[in-house]
Amino acid sequence: MNKLTFSIVLFFITLTSLFAQSPAPTGLLCQLMSHPELSVITEKNPEFGWIVNSDKPGDSQKAYQILVASSAELLQNNMGDMWNSGKVKTAQSINVGYAGKALSANKIYYWKVKTYNKKSGENTWSLPQQFNTGEFDRTTKWPGESRWLLIDNGNGQKSWALENRHPVVYHLVKPVRKTIRDNGAQFFDFGRSAFATVEINLTWTPKDTAQKELTLKINIGEKGVGDSIDQKPGGGVIFRTFPMTIKSGTANYTLQIPRFVPKFPHSQPMPPQMPEIIPFRFCEVLSGTEKVTVNDITHKALYILDNEKASGFKSSNSDLNAIYELCKYSTVANTFNGDYANSERERMMYEADCYIQQMGHYAVDREFAIARYSLENLLYHATWPSEWISHSVFMAWADYLYTGNTDVITRYYDDIKAKTMTALQSEKSLISTQTGKQTKEFLKSIHYNGATLRDIVDWPNASYMSTVAGGESDGYDFRDYNTVVNAFYYQSMVYMAKMSDAIGKKNDARLFSAKVDSVKSAFNKNFFNSETGIYVDGIGSKHSSLHANMYPLCFGLVPTENQKSVINFIKSKRMACGVYSSNYLLEAMFDYNQTDYAMSLLTDDSDRSWLNMIRVGATMTTEAWDNKYKLNNGWSHAWSASPAHIIPRKIMGIEPAEPGFGKINIRPRPGNLTEAKAKVSTIRGDIDVGFKQEIGKSFELNITIPANTTANVYMPTSSKKYTLIIDGKKSNGQYANEYTLVKNASSGSHKLSISYE
């Protein structure tokens, strides 16, 4: 063999070897952050994660190797001077703790990983990821406190970054429509509202050459009317006028919006180094009789660095598609300060609001650090509604369920435990905020600085309503012991038992499990009316509201024999609740096989609907269903964006079967949709689900699940007599409750079809 032939053979052997290797790991996470190079980490021993990739179906990781280096050059040469893990035999690909040399504070490091897979063998190295350390042991005002810091980004340039939080960035948006009106006013539509400012490049040639300055009027607003801004939009919808002083000639200008002045206990102003922002979609430039030309104008929208391609949904119902897009955008657009502080009026976080936005965020992007920071913040800055305190427990459980990470539970265990509010429990095995148990010690334990907690049920209440009496709580009859509050108490016990078990606190797990049983028994004994077959609002009440029934159903408190009467009552009420409670109403209806009814609520076109939000012109979800339902209703609030997670979780059926998505449940609830497809990006990788159905005849499901996972797939089955085909082969499944279960589907792409006889 001559040298040329040998070289060619060697080239093809090398090429074949390279292509034989499975794809490199992607989706690197450091301390649950996808862009740690734009943030600062204060954890001495950060945790790493990645997506295992393979071109072979059913593949999984059997080992990994991590390198951490103090320079990009060292890492490029496969030298981990800080840590070379060696080949670690495990399937673990998330929450892998750093175990190298001590990291230094205020320094830049780099890491990468490769995997060894059971079927595809040794992998290639991932692309490197940079992470920045900050101060490890500084004194903080409260655990989890996060600051803005000016950091070196590695190439000699400085930039502002947040500690332990996903970065927020300016998204530069050009107008989708421009109009110059007869009076010379220039009107611009940026397509969607955002918390933003505006940058303008202007040319002004004064009529009087001696005039050196001109003050323009800049109008901004959320609601348009034709080719102008609605100057009296009502409620809390934004319209503002600001001056802008310009000079003759051509120059760039940034709108100077007055600084937000906090008016609430935990309102969060923008840091002084960043321009002030306000939510708006439209802008008008008014120059009077002077001719001013707008050469260029940019909507500088501030929110997190997001990946729009991380998720998606399309179906045969165009209204449902529009609702999903509205809610998906609303979830990320309300993150302008790197957390879940919503609303221009308040800019503060509330536990219930944040939980709903957390669930939406998990559904639309593979990001976890903002939810975690929001949880940590709220643990130490509790708000006044008693049910909101329970939502801190809900947030902690969701953090664990979607990341598989127990750090929050371990670090804040006593604080989370206090948020169950067992200190308010009486001999009835129920809790009450009205029986003298709200001691100073109790309020301190939950980090609430106000006088007392108050039951809320739903919001807004009567004092905030515009034309509808009684508020959004369906005439709820508040008593000392309230049904809704105790439904939340029960669910908190359920989550606390599971979280205690997850971190090895077995005694606590047993105690909480016992409380679950005793609370459930007391709940049904005291709140269920056997004569009517439904729940009353509280002990001593004869009134039964939607809320007193949908929450027990949603949380699994209703015995099987009573479910039919409770469901029928709930369905008789339609959407007799606010945007907040609609989250739980939809969950309850989907979970208890009322799919058609839940779909009708989702796509309702009355003034109590998401379609109404779109119809009135909002491009972010609104604080209440309509201005008439809240005097100061705002048009920038993500707590009403629950369809962002309801649609992928309940219609497409994509949910974790175990914490961290090592196992997945795929349980579609198609209703009357003839087809739909969705993508959800989890901590383990992308899950794709698509279906087509001929109602009553057949159902076809196409799924793609990530490597290193398996899935339980539930095929909707309208008849006990059916034929199931999986990847071209006739198969058997386990039939139960109108579904056929296919257990432990392997990673990769699968086509399942079922036809009914």
Q: Tens digit of pLDDT for each residue in 473-484? A: 999 999 999 999
Q: Which architecture, in CATH terms, is 22-163?
A: Sandwich (2.60)
Does the pLDDT of residue 153 top 80, yes or no? Answer: no
Cβ atoms of residues 402 and 364 within 8 Å:
no
Does the pLDDT of residue 17 top 50, yes or no? Answer: no
13: confidence class by pLDDT, cuts 50, 70, 90: very low
Q: Tens digit of pLDDT for each residue in 733-751? A: 899 889 999 999 999 999 9
Mean pLDDT of 528-535: 98
22: confidence class by pLDDT, cuts 50, 70, 90: low
Does the pLDDT of residue 6 top 50, yes or no? Answer: no
Here the tokens at position 740 are 């056929």
Which of 184, 188, 173, 249 is closest to 214 using CA atoms?
249
Lowest mean pLDDT among 309-318, 337-346, 395-404: 337-346
470: confidence class by pLDDT, cuts 50, 70, 90: confident
Percentage of the chain lying above the pLDDT 90 cut: 90
Q: Tens digit of pLDDT for each residue in 40-56? A: 999 999 999 999 999 99
Q: Which residues belong to CATH 1.50.10.10 in the chain?
A: 320-651
Q: Tens digit of pLDDT for each residue in 560-576? A: 999 999 999 999 999 99
- The pLDDT, as a whole number, for residue 18 is 41
Q: Look-up: residue for tokens 């739903």?
A: 458
Mean pLDDT of 588-615: 98
Here the tokens at position 239 are 């319209």
How far is 556 from 588, CA to CA, in rounded Å? Answer: 9
Q: Does the structural domain 663-756 have CATH classification 2.60.420.10? A: yes
Does the pLDDT of residue 679 top 90, yes or no? Answer: yes
Q: Tens digit of pLDDT for each residue in 415-437? A: 999 999 999 999 999 999 999 99
Q: Which residues belong to CATH 2.60.420.10 in the chain?
A: 663-756
Does the pLDDT of residue 586 top 80, yes or no? Answer: yes
Cβ neighbors of 428 (< 8 A, separation 6 or more) are: 481, 522, 526
Q: Which residues pair with 689 in a beta bridge?
A: 678, 703
Cβ atoms of residues 395 and 340 within 8 Å:
no
Q: Specify the pTM.
A: 0.95
Q: What is the CATH number of domain 320-651?
A: 1.50.10.10
How far is 723 from 325, CA to CA, in rounded Å? Answer: 36
Count Cβ atoms within 10 A of the Cβ of residue 443 and give its class: 0-12 exposed, 13-18 middle, 19 or more buried. Answer: middle
Q: Which residues belong to CATH 2.60.120.260 in the chain?
A: 168-230+237-251+276-293
The overall average pLDDT reported for the chain is: 94
Does the pLDDT of residue 21 top 70, yes or no? Answer: no
16: confidence class by pLDDT, cuts 50, 70, 90: very low
Q: Look-up: residue for tokens 């509010």?
A: 421
Mean pLDDT of 527-540: 98
Q: Look-up: residue for tokens 């190295």?
A: 125
- The pLDDT, as a whole number, for residue 155 is 73
Q: Tens digit of pLDDT for each residue in 118-131? A: 999 999 999 999 99
Q: Which residues belong to CATH 2.60.40.10 in the chain?
A: 22-163
Lowest mean pLDDT among 262-276, 365-379, 549-563: 262-276
Residue at 433: amino acid letter:
T
- The pLDDT, as a whole number, for residue 268 is 87
How far is 537 from 46, CA to CA, in rounded Å? Answer: 47
Long-range contacts of 173-180 (CB under 8 A, 24+ apart): 173/298, 173/299, 173/300, 173/301, 174/297, 174/298, 174/299, 175/297, 175/299, 179/227
Which of 407, 434, 374 is closest to 45 using CA atoms?
407
Tell whether the torsion through CA atoms of 458, 460, 463 and 467 is positive or negative. Answer: negative
Here the tokens at position 665 are 């449940």
Percentage of the chain lying above the pLDDT 70 cut: 96
- Give the number of other CB atoms < 10 A from CB of residue 725: 14
Q: Which CATH fold would you assign to the domain 168-230+237-251+276-293?
A: Jelly Rolls (2.60.120)
Mean pLDDT of 81-107: 98
- The pLDDT, as a whole number, for residue 587 is 98
